[in-house]
């Protein structure tokens, strides 16, 4: 009897429980075939299993690791199988007979194009795209403007710093970042500014630049054109030609620089609410075409000759400015320095002199006379759809600190000569970025005065930088930096598990 009962229990364990388990636990998903389920899961985890060399014409019949969409794993929802028609397209892309870039125009459905491209990429590389979401993004909105050959989108959290009291108005500043502490620190700076009566920000200059390089047969001919362009009598005509490019582009000046028989023309113009690179390029092209009549021997080597200077560290932007030049200042009360910033006016002034001025001079800095302007600039740029690559010159900043009111209070200022921002064009029209611009009250084109929104955005960027400088410098002066970073910027998770 004992042996019989024991055998029954054993059999139940072997078949019965397994059967019951499979009935209860099997999900009604059409993604996996039951016999393939375990195998597929195992394959999925083999992230580095590159089965097929990338970029070659490939035979799709070779099985590769299945690519599962983020939704299946993250949301635990079933994912639709690709249709037969999609499957054919995927195979054609993997085989190299259909170019991936043509999907949008061929299918007329950007989301479907992204999904097919992603599936094909997974098969070609054998890499998992798990975690990179596909759903929840409007792929039509980036077509022909913001990004080619999309396969998904990267999520960056947006934090809020503020209210920033600037020129008598309160702003909640959106910051897209994955650096812990940054938003909290900027927020603390905003608080100190608010409690001290606010900051004020002034726009000194507003002009985007573009500098083509032109070669002549002799230096003499290059100088001829330089003198022609610098003659005030010719400016009117050139401005009319230039301004035809857009209702908003208005030529301000042309600075000519000679290098042997090569001539660099640094055009400067206002661009309304656009950051303006496209606009100015069109205007410059108009002028170059016009000049060919009187200077047929000029050879335009490139519409950008790097004297512009776009997305590269260069003294010309630091000295002459590019985009919006802004100065922003505040007087922080001694009490606030002590209670909110946990330091003293004296320590801040000394640290600023030795770090931001002397230390940066010793480092041979170019526009880097600040503690971390680029942190704030980048985070605000990403949140509001600016070109993050322009962070390079947009972060040029000198931070000054001085004890005022008999040494009781702190005067702090940031001077930023090349903040390149726009509220129309580029990434500003995308839904999330547009929402952040809306939060600041600078979304789209200004109805009252073209350019007012982008100029206001530039002053907000400078104001947020002021807050960031104030807070980080205080943390450094008080020796809090490492402590707060341990709290907010260090994951308590086991990183080795994440990487596996
Ligand atoms: P960018 O020059 O910054 O690359 P684009 O030229 O791509 O930007 O986008 C600017 C577009 O927006 C132009 O077509 C311009 O005519 C239009 N636009 C509408 N309103 C404004 C405005 N207030 N300021 C500037 N451009 C505007």
Residue pLDDT, tens place only, 133-151: 999 999 999 999 999 999 9
**For residue 445, which atom of ligand 1 is closest to its CA?**
23
From the CA of 207, how far away is ligand 1's center (Å)? 14
What domains can you pick out in the chain, each with its CATH number?
102-155 (1.10.3270), 177-205+324-488 (3.90.770.10), 212-302 (3.30.70.420)
From the CA of 278, how far away is ligand 1's center (Å)? 8
Helix/strand/coil for 170: strand
CA 363, chain centre distance (Å): 27
Share the mean pLDDT of the chain: 87
How far CA 308 is from CA of 36, 213, 448, in Å, comes to 58, 10, 30
Q: Pick the residue whose CA is nearest to atom 10 on ligand 1.
A: 425
Short-list 291, 301, 311, CA closest to 283: 291
At 40, the pLDDT band (50, 70, 90 cuts) reads very low
In this structure, the residues whose C-beta lies within 6 A of any atom of ligand 1 are: 246-248, 271-279, 422, 424-426, 445-446, 450
Tracing tokens 């690559």 back to the chain, one arrives at 389
From the CA of 257, how far away is ligand 1's center (Å)? 29
User: What is the best residue among 208, 245, 248, 448 to mutate for testing ligand 1's pocket, by most ligand atoms within 8 Å of CB?
Assistant: 248
In this predicted model, what pLDDT tens digit does every residue of 427-450 receive, in sequence order? 999 999 999 999 999 999 999 999
From the CA of 73, how far away is ligand 1's center (Å)? 41
Q: Tell me if the pTM is above 0.85.
A: no
In this predicted model, what pLDDT tens digit does every residue of 236-256 receive, in sequence order? 999 999 999 999 999 999 999
DSSP lists the bridge partners of residue 165 as 170
The pLDDT value recorded for residue 75 is: 43
In whole angstroms, give the CA distance from residue 227 to residue 230: 5
* Pair of tokens at residue 249: 């582009």
In this predicted model, what pLDDT tens digit does every residue of 46-95 receive, in sequence order? 333 333 333 222 333 333 334 444 444 444 444 556 799 999 999 999 99
**For residue 281, which atom of ligand 1 is closest to its CA?**
2
In whole angstroms, give the CA distance from residue 135 to residue 137: 6
**For residue 279, which atom of ligand 1 is closest to its CA?**
2
In whole angstroms, give the CA distance from residue 18 to residue 21: 5
In whole angstroms, give the CA distance from residue 246 to residue 269: 11
Q: Pick the residue whose CA is nearest to atom 19 on ligand 1.
A: 445
Task: List residues with catalytic annotation.
Answer: 179, 311, 387, 485
In whole angstroms, give the CA distance from residue 63 to residue 145: 36
From the CA of 273, how far away is ligand 1's center (Å)? 7
Instruction: Give the pLDDT mean for 104-131.
Output: 97
Tracing tokens 């259909």 back to the chain, one arrives at 98
**For residue 280, which atom of ligand 1 is closest to its CA?**
2
Rg (CA), the chain: 30
In whole angstroms, give the CA distance from residue 366 to residue 413: 18
């Amino acid at each position: 009897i004992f042996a019989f009962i024991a055998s029954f229990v054993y059999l139940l364990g072997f078949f019965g429980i397994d059967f019951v388990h499979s009935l209860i636990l099997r999900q009604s998903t059409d993604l996996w075939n039951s016999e393939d389920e375990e195998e597929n899961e195992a394959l999925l985890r083999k992230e580095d299993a590159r089965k097929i060399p990338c970029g070659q014409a490939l035979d799709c019949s070779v099985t590769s690791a299945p690519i599962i969409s983020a939704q299946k794993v993250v949301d635990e929802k079933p994912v639709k199988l690709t249709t037969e028609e999609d499957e054919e397209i995927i195979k054609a892309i993997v085989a190299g007979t259909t170019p991936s870039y043509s999907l949008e125009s061929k299918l007329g459905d950007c989301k479907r194009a992204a999904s097919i491209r992603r599936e094909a990429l997974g098969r070609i590389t054998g890499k998992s795209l798990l975690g990179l979401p596909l759903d929840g993004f409007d792929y039509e909105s980036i077509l022909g403007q913001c990004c080619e050959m999309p396969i998904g989108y990267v999520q960056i959290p947006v934090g809020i710093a503020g209210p920033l009291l600037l020129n008598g108005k309160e702003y909640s500043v959106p910051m897209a970042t994955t650096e812990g502490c940054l938003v909290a620190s900027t927020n603390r700076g905003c608080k100190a500014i608010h409690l001290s009566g606010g900051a004020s920000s002034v726009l000194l200059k507003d002009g985007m630049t573009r500098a083509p390089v032109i070669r002549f047969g002799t230096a003499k001919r290059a100088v001829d054109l330089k003198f022609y362009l610098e003659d005030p009598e010719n400016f009117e005509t050139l401005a009319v030609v230039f301004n035809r490019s857009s209702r908003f582009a208005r030529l301000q000046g042309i600075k000519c620089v000679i290098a042997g028989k090569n001539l660099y023309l640094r055009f400067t113009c206002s661009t309304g609410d656009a950051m303006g690179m496209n606009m100015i390029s069109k205007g410059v092209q108009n002028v170059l075409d016009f000049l060919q009549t009187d200077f047929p021997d000029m050879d335009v080597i490139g519409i950008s000759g790097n004297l512009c200077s776009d997305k590269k560290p260069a003294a010309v932007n630091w000295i002459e400015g590019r985009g919006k030049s802004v100065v922003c200042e505040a007087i922080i009360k001694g009490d606030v320095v002590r209670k909110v910033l946990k330091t003293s006016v004296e320590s801040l002034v000394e640290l600023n002199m030795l770090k931001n001025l002397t230390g940066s001079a010793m480092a041979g800095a170019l526009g880097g006379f600040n503690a971390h302007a680029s942190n704030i600039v980048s985070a605000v740029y990403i949140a509001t759809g600016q070109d993050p690559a322009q962070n390079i010159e947009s972060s040029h900043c000198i931070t000054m600190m001085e004890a005022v009111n008999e040494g009781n209070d702190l005067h702090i200022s940031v001077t930023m000569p090349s903040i390149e921002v726009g509220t129309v064009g580029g990434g500003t029209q995308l839904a999330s970025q547009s929402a952040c611009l809306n939060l600041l009250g600078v979304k789209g084109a200004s109805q009252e005065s073209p350019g007012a929104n982008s100029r206001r955005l530039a002053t907000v960027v400078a104001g947020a930088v002021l807050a960031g400088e104030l807070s980080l410098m205080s943390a450094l002066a008080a020796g809090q930096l490492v402590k707060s970073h341990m709290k907010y910027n260090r994951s308590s998770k086991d990183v080795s598990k994440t990487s596996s």
